[in-house]
């Protein structure tokens, strides 16, 4: 309840924050009850308010945390080199005008592309540079209807273009959901 914006923006911001936390290098820490999006501060003498899960926005945050845990566990590029420069690479950290961050999480040649939109505006035709040609798949989207989001998506398969962008030989033309983060994986390489 201390966050700005209406209810939709507060929950979308929280889902975005958790996406950023899980995809950025370093240790992950959530306090008890954070996965429920409890509007009250943690009370150590009381039980968690499990009834919050009966409300769609709270259940959505709960599912985001669950799926991010699964993604983090499944994708070694998110954790193998979490404390080494070889596990992280900026794609773009300079788009302050549109409030978008893009970076790669790496495990050798395997990588994930993370793109975060910190505004409540859908960004259509947002171009992001990628290091390899092929078809990319959205493996996580914090704006999905499964999480009580608005379900703005790029679909299941996104073909990259041989168009140099952001110092990379190829690029993707994406739709960025509002107040959300997406994680993309190279599904099929053209090499």
How many CB atoms within 10 Å of residue 107? Answer: 16
User: Which regions of the chain are under pLDDT 70?
Assistant: 189-191
Q: How many Å apart are CA 153 and CA 182, to the nearest integer? A: 9
Q: Does the model's pTM come out above 0.75?
A: yes
Chain centroid to CA 5: 20
Contacts of 39 (CB under 8 A, 6+ apart): 1
pLDDT given at position 2:
78
pLDDT given at position 84:
83
Q: How many Å apart are CA 114 and CA 127, to the nearest integer? A: 13
Query: pLDDT, tens digit, for every residue of 104-126?
Result: 999 999 999 999 999 999 999 99
Chain centroid to CA 189: 22
pLDDT given at position 191:
55
3-state class of 123 per DSSP? strand
Phi and psi for 132 in degrees, rounded to 5? -140, 145
Residue with tokens 């994708």: 75
pLDDT given at position 1:
74
Q: Which H or E element spans position 134?
A: strand 134-141
pLDDT given at position 39:
87
């Amino acid at each position: 309840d201390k966050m700005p914006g209406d209810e939709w923006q507060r929950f979308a911001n929280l889902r975005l924050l958790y996406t950023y936390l899980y995809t950025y290098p370093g240790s992950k820490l959530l306090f008890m009850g954070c996965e429920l999006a409890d509007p009250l501060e943690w009370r150590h003498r009381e039980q968690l308010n499990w009834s919050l899960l009966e409300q769609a926005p709270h259940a959505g945050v709960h599912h985001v945390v669950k799926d991010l845990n699964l993604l983090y566990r499944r994708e070694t590029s998110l954790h193998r080199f979490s404390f080494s420069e070889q596990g992280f690479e900026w794609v773009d950290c300079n788009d302050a005008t549109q409030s978008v961050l893009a970076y790669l999480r790496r495990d050798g040649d395997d990588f994930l592309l993370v793109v975060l939109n910190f505004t409540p505006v859908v960004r259509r035709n947002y171009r992001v540079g990628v290091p390899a040609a092929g078809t990319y798949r959205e493996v996580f989207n914090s704006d999905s209807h499964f999480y009580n989001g608005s379900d703005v998506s790029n679909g299941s398969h996104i073909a990259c273009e041989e168009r140099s962008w952001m110092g990379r030989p190829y690029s993707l033309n994406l739709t960025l959901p509002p107040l959300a983060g997406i994680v993309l994986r190279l599904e099929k390489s053209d090499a």
